[in-house]
């Protein structure tokens, strides 16, 4: 019983960790995905061989 | 178009913008803390600025830039489409090895500025674009290296060259005047090079203009007229770098403090008191703390129209900026003000900071 509870807890922790570590922070709207993690954006552009549109939003 | 609205269009693109952006990886950065501002150098008093690049961090072009009238003058869907289409073409050329790689500039980070390191970064706050301009001025000033005649006049306005562009058509010339007209640039010409370097957007052109030596007397441009490329040389006028720098965060840190805060009167208000558009006329709005100007007798509501005999300048129509540009802490300033129809005169010593 104790082993089952530990296994369940570990399983849940793994699911939560996976959810939290999932894809880079993104904001998706109207089909265009805005990645807010610069390095993740660079990696994605390399993988997909796409150019990058990088926007600096300066409005405080 | 308000900048936030333009960003809204980018975030929720429709039609052609959506189609073009789907061929890109889109990255949004609103905190400059870890950004290499050596590579991504741009006008810090922008509200939005974009780069088109590739995964090797080779920058194809910039999209953004501003003028005195607005931070949004050059932001619109039409010019964005032109930039995005060219970006895709350049990416294809890059993949085929047809584009020469550019050397990466020396890395630089916001934390390299002591003011940002001890404030925003230490306190865990976001670093915004305008912090960079302000920190740069403060650093030069603290090192006694600030040349007020050169260092503050950044990101010149292309109109000072006598070139008026149609913001929707990228670098197509809408009208010419002054130096550009004298050099032979014509309506419908497209600017394609500045000092031999390719420019594809207004942002590209303004960046190169910013990098052009302040004391240079000429500027080489190449324009495309129909299928012909024509080189022209502009004779730069003395004030070619002058813009309304009082809108820049960097000038707010300039020493000395004028000993009052003020709001420049608009054209209508100036007319009412018999002043011309470029004349000094600045209403004192606050002192914040007890300042020497207040101790000398100045009051909120006074209209400052003269500083030591000067009533207008080619560099600024704002007397508070005039004081920051032309005086040192410890100097004595004599101002003339209008109060209830009467002219009054006050002399006081300016300090470095308000407190």
Instruction: Give the distance from residue A49's alpha carbon to the nearest chain B alpha carbon, in angstroms.
Output: 8
Asked whether the predicted pLDDT for residue A52 surpasses 90, the reply is yes
CB contact under 8 A, B40 and A53: no
pLDDT mean for each 10 residues of chain B (355 residues): 63 84 95 96 93 98 91 90 96 96 96 94 91 94 93 94 93 96 97 97 96 95 96 95 92 94 95 94 93 96 98 95 96 98 97 90
pLDDT of A20 strictly over 50: no
Q: Which residues contact B77 (CB under 8 A, 6 or more apart)?
A: B9, B16, B17
* Category of B228 on φ-ψ map: left (φ > 0), alpha (ψ -120 to 50) or beta: beta
Collect all residues of chain B within an 8 Å Cβ-Cβ radius of residue A29: 11-12
- Which among B10, B28, B48 has the least Cβ separation from residue A36? B28
Residue B106: count other Cβ atoms within 10 Å of its Cβ: 8
Tell me, what's the pLDDT at A28? Answer: 57
Report whether B176 contacts B162 (CB < 8 A). yes
Pairing assessment for the beta strands A32-35 and A26-29 based on DSSP bridges: antiparallel
C-alpha B57/C-alpha B61 separation (Å) is: 11
Whether A53 sits inside 8 A of B49 (CB atoms) is: no
Segment B141-180, tens digit of pLDDT: 999 999 998 899 999 999 999 999 999 999 999 999 999 9
Secondary structure (DSSP) of A34-52: EE--HHHHHHHHHHHT--E
CA–CA dist B103, B91 (Å, integer): 17
Is the bond preceding B71 in cis, omega lying within 30 degrees of 0? no
Interface of A with B (CB under 8 A): 27, 29-36, 38, 41-46, 48-60
């Amino acid at each position: 019983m104790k082993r089952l509870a530990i296994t369940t807890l570990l399983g849940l922790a793994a699911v939560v960790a996976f959810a939290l570590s999932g894809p880079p922070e993104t904001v998706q709207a109207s089909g265009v995905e805005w990645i807010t993690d610069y390095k993740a954006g660079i990696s994605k552009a390399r993988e997909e061989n796409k150019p990058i549109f990088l926007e600096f939003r300066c409005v405080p | 178009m308000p900048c936030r609205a333009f960003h809204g269009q980018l975030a929720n693109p429709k039609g052609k913008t959506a189609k073009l952006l789907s061929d890109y990886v889109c990255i949004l950065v609103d905190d400059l803390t870890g950004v290499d501002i050596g590579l991504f150098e741009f006008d810090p008093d922008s509200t939005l600025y974009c780069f088109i690049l590739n995964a090797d961090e080779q920058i194809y072009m910039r999209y953004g830039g501003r003028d005195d009238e607005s931070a949004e003058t050059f932001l619109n869907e039409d010019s964005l489409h032109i930039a995005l289409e060219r970006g895709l073409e350049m990416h294809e050329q890059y993949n085929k090895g047809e584009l020469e790689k550019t050397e990466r500039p020396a890395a630089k980070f916001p934390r390299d500025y002591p003011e940002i390191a001890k404030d925003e970064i230490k306190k865990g706050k976001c670093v915004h674009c305008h912090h960079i301009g302000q920190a740069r001025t403060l650093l030069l000033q603290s090192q006694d290296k600030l040349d007020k005649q050169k260092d503050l006049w950044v990101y010149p306005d292309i109109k000072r060259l006598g070139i008026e562009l149609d913001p929707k058509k990228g670098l197509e010339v809408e009208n010419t005047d002054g130096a550009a007209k004298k050099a032979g640039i014509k309506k419908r010409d497209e600017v394609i090079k500045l000092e031999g370097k390719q420019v594809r957007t207004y942002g590209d052109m303004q960046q190169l203009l910013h990098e052009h030596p302040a004391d240079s007397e000429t500027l080489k441009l190449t324009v495309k007229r129909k299928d012909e490329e024509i080189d022209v040389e502009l004779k730069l006028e003395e004030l070619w770098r002058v813009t309304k720098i009082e809108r820049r965060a960097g000038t707010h840190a300039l020493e000395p403090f004028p000993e009052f805060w003020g709001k420049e009167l608009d054209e209508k208000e100036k007319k009412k008191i018999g002043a011309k558009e470029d004349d000094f006329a600045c209403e004192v709005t606050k002192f914040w703390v007890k300042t020497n100007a207040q101790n000398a007798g100045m009051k909120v509501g006074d209209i400052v129209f003269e500083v030591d005999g000067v009533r207008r300048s080619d560099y600024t129509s704002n007397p508070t900026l005039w004081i920051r540009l032309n005086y040192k802490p410890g100097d004595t300033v004599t101002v003339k003000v209008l109060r209830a129809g009467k002219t009054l005169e006050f002399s006081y010593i300016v300090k470095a900071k308000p407190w």
